[in-house]
Chain A
Amino acid sequence: MQLTPKTVPPPSDDKRWKIVDGMMRRHGHEPHALIEVLHSVQETFGFLTDDALKYVGASLRVPPSKVYGVATFYHFFTMKPPGEHTCVVCTGTACYIKGAPALLNAVSELAGIKAGETTADGKLSLLTARCVGSCGLAPAVVFDGQVAGKITTESIKQRVAAYVGSEPESLVIEEHR
């Protein structure tokens, strides 16, 4: 049964919802645009909130169960706010062979967080990627969206120390999804 399309008001009067609305309009509010729209929400707000999921679901006439199912199925979507800086260590095969585990350990030790976590002060998120496709430059790390290649434990410590103010005190941990 096709539900009647209805206009749903955005969760807040944040102007950024206009970007999301534009994406939904471009797809004619078709239910199959769900993933495209979730991409647009995450690009705009940095992560997906429950309110965003409800709003997108209602606007596209997709049940909340399905929206939640899709949002949690794909690794790319996150429902926790990212830290001010992100450090994504590539753990693809080439990077793994060339020492990605050591890089992860180095950051973990310095910042006091494990992969998938954010420091308590919200300064840094440490993440892993399946492969960023920069295998020729392995091991690769993505600092704040910029890929950097041939990383050593020394160079990653330097970058991360600058992010966290080199004082690895923030040991209270907030778990990422």
Chain B
Amino acid sequence: MNQDDLANIAAHTKQTDSSYDHIVKVCVAAGCLSANSDQVKTQLESEIKQRGLESCCKVKGVGCMGLCAAGPLVAADNNDKMFQDVTPNDAGAIIDNVMDNVAVPEALVMDSKLEFFVKQKKVVLENCGDIDPEQIEDYIAADGYEALFHCITRLKPLGVIEQITRSGLRGRGGAGFPTGLKWITVYKAGGNRKFVICNADEGDPGAFMDRSVLESDPHRVLEGMAIAGYAVGASRGFIYCRAEYPLAVKRLRLAIRQAESHGLLGMNIGDTHFDFKIEIRLGAGAFVCGEETALIASIEGGRGTPRPRPPFPAQMGLWNAPTLINNVETFANVAPIIRRGGDWFASIGTEKSKGTKVFALAGRVKNTGLIEVPMGMTLREIIFGLGGGIPDGRRFKAVQSGGPSGGCVPEQHLDIPVDYDSLASVGSIMGSGGMIVMDETSCMVDVAKFFMDFCMTESCGKCVPCRVGTTQMHDILERITEGRAGGHELELLQRLTGMVKAASLCGLGQTAPNPTLTTLRYFMDEYRAHIEEGRCPAGVCHPAKAEAEVDA
């Protein structure tokens, strides 16, 4: 495989596609699949066959189109026509509409000019909903693997790293560490055995960005990893993926096989001396394994417990070799940056947060699904513009970002721009991109308890502040929701949050108090109502005071 072969595949695929008058795309990512989009696809295919339209109309399974709430989604003619809530019975009507513009029932039509679609800026998701994730040719036709070829044939490793540094890309796993700096550290680390790891252990509840990228465009992640391998001098890569995402694992396996048989992974890639092999390792349901040292311990076959840093994995990681660990979305940004240049990427976003960010919008919001917006868009624009606001005429209460490590942002801060630093200034974090909207039916004390229960269960137990601290905080929160807490316990809770934050070994414990801290900060009245009045304003908890021991 060389660059000409790549261009030939791309040209051939484009030519075949353009020979069809219409291409009907059906979403086959997990969200729509669970609403039977595979049957929709089969039915569309048989309708076309029955009418003998095989030569002018093609049905294609594509990745996530974003608006999961309205799935299964079908699109045709470059998304000019979109259909929602499609059932297999609608196949005939859709083909009629696509071929001869016969009107379809109104409920089936999705407005492709919705703010949800037009306000997005797609870099990571540019191929999602467009290419068939199970066909490497489709990815190649969308300029796939061009960036990898460019790197290995025209750039020196330092030249690659320079582009990444100039782009200003920061780690999309949540902490926002500058990616270029990480790469150069691994590059400079000695030794001839280095590794690249892709963190696909998307453990945050309420987040599905990585799953969607892996299911919709797996080759993009492989290409990003291979470029990283070339840049830092590694010849082996691992993808650590959640076992709870079987479809993502299946598509990744297929993608790796296809890339290997095309000579795009393996030995002597593109007839150069660059070798890069990628293997998949399955996670087994431990949230703490999203922490890099715990993830490494898990790949090594042990219990996923973190260790103190330094030494950082960049110096001493997998099997004590220098290791580069980046998140799925970070790797997915690499190929576009190389193709269009670091400066192009840096022109998107805010001063300190460049590029775009993918968010999983969920909870009490009209348009739930996957979105990608430029950094710096306000929370209000995301929730009320793209998200379409709160359904059922209810009132917005808070938005939770960053999962169990993040915080709850109230209405008064909805106009802050979404970037790493602004979110941190209001007590939350960017996190990996989960964004859960809550309305007045959610009790914030109950939400704090929910996240603390999560951290308590997921604490690996290695260090005392996290193992014992999360349990104590959870017990206090539980007592508050049950109306058994005394007034002094709020102060105790506050003291504990500081202690756990300061003394825990890894990110799990250090950030576990965040949901509690932000709810204490913005929703103190709800805590007080539980403790002093024995009442839950949202009507979720039952802090009956009957037998409460409130003598303190």
Check A149 against B205 for contact (C-beta < 8 Å): no
Check A97 against B31 for contact (C-beta < 8 Å): no
Check A74 against B286 for contact (C-beta < 8 Å): yes
| Closest Cβ–Cβ distance, residue A127 to chain B (whole Å) | 11
CA distance A33 to B204 in the complex (A): 26
**For window 73-105 of chain A, which residues contact chain B by CB distance below 8 Å?**
73-77, 91-94, 96-98
- Could you say which residues of chain A place their CB within 8 Å of the CB of B208? 131, 133-136
- Could you say which residues of chain B place their CB within 8 Å of the CB of A144? none
Contact for B205 among A36, A131, A148, CB less than 8 A: A131
| Closest Cβ–Cβ distance, residue B301 to chain A (whole Å) | 4
Check B362 against A94 for contact (C-beta < 8 Å): yes
Mark interface residues in A119-138 (1 if CB within 8 Å of B CB, else 0).
00000000001111111111
Assuming the A-B contacts A66-B302, A138-B363, are A74 and B30 also in contact, with contact meaning beta carbons closer than 8 angstroms in the complex? Answer: no
Check A136 against B69 for contact (C-beta < 8 Å): yes
Check B286 against A75 for contact (C-beta < 8 Å): yes
| Closest Cβ–Cβ distance, residue B429 to chain A (whole Å) | 15
CB of A35 within 8 Å of the partner chain: yes
CB of B266 within 8 Å of the partner chain: no
Assuming the A-B contacts A73-B286, A73-B304, are A136 and B442 also in contact, with contact meaning beta carbons closer than 8 angstroms in the complex? Answer: no
CB of B159 within 8 Å of the partner chain: no
CA distance A96 to B301 in the complex (A): 32
> How many A-B pairs with Cβ below 8 Å?
143
CA distance A110 to B48 in the complex (A): 45
CB of A159 within 8 Å of the partner chain: no
Assuming the A-B contacts A74-B284, A93-B403, A149-B35, are A133 and B30 also in contact, with contact meaning beta carbons closer than 8 angstroms in the complex? Answer: yes
CB of B450 within 8 Å of the partner chain: yes
CA distance A147 to B208 in the complex (A): 14
Check B400 against A93 for contact (C-beta < 8 Å): yes
Check B298 against A35 for contact (C-beta < 8 Å): yes
Q: Which residue of A lies closest to B69 (CB)?
A: A136
Contact for A93 among B31, B436, B460, CB less than 8 A: B436
Check B31 against A149 for contact (C-beta < 8 Å): yes
Check A133 against B301 for contact (C-beta < 8 Å): no
Contact for A137 among B35, B243, B301, CB less than 8 A: B35
Check B282 against A35 for contact (C-beta < 8 Å): yes
Contact for B301 among A33, A134, A146, CB less than 8 A: A33
Assuming the A-B contacts A32-B301, A134-B30, A147-B34, are A39 and B364 also in contact, with contact meaning beta carbons closer than 8 angstroms in the complex? Answer: no
Contact for B436 among A62, A73, A75, A97, CB less than 8 A: A97
**For window 315-351 of chain B, which residues contact chain A by CB distance below 8 Å?**
none
**For window 490-525 of chain B, which residues contact chain A by CB distance below 8 Å?**
none
CB of A173 within 8 Å of the partner chain: no
Mark interface residues in A55-67 (1 if CB within 8 Å of B CB, else 0).
0000000100010
Assuming the A-B contacts A36-B281, A39-B282, A93-B400, are A130 and B287 also in contact, with contact meaning beta carbons closer than 8 angstroms in the complex? Answer: yes
- Could you say which residues of chain B place their CB within 8 Å of the CB of A131? 203-208, 244
Check A136 against B454 for contact (C-beta < 8 Å): no
CB of B141 within 8 Å of the partner chain: no
Check A137 against B284 for contact (C-beta < 8 Å): no
| Closest Cβ–Cβ distance, residue B342 to chain A (whole Å) | 31
CB of B299 within 8 Å of the partner chain: yes
CB of B71 within 8 Å of the partner chain: yes
CA distance A79 to B221 in the complex (A): 34
CA distance A130 to B131 in the complex (A): 30
Check A34 against B301 for contact (C-beta < 8 Å): yes
Mark interface residues in B338-378 (1 if CB within 8 Å of A CB, else 0).
00000000000000000000001111100011100000000
CA distance A70 to B207 in the complex (A): 26
- Could you say which residues of chain B place their CB within 8 Å of the CB of A75? 284-286
Check A36 against B35 for contact (C-beta < 8 Å): no
Q: Which residue of B lies closest to A135 (CB)?
A: B362
B interface vs A, CB < 8 Å? 30-31, 33-35, 67-69, 71, 202-208, 211, 243-245, 281-287, 298-304, 360-364, 368-370, 400, 403, 434, 436, 438, 442, 447, 450-451, 454, 458, 460
Mind listing 27 A-B residue pairs with CB under 8 Å?
A: A31-B301, A34-B301, A35-B301, A69-B303, A70-B302, A73-B460, A91-B205, A93-B363, A93-B434, A93-B436, A93-B450, A93-B451, A94-B362, A94-B368, A97-B364, A97-B438, A129-B244, A130-B458, A131-B244, A132-B244, A133-B208, A134-B31, A135-B206, A136-B68, A136-B369, A138-B362, A149-B35
| Shortest Cβ-Cβ A-B pairs, 3 listed | A136-B68, A74-B284, A92-B205
Q: Given contacts A92-B205, A136-B370, A138-B368, could you give 19 more A-B pairs where the C-beta distance is less than 8 Å?
A: A34-B301, A34-B302, A35-B281, A38-B284, A70-B303, A76-B284, A91-B205, A92-B206, A96-B450, A130-B454, A131-B207, A135-B68, A136-B31, A136-B208, A136-B360, A137-B31, A137-B69, A140-B34, A147-B33
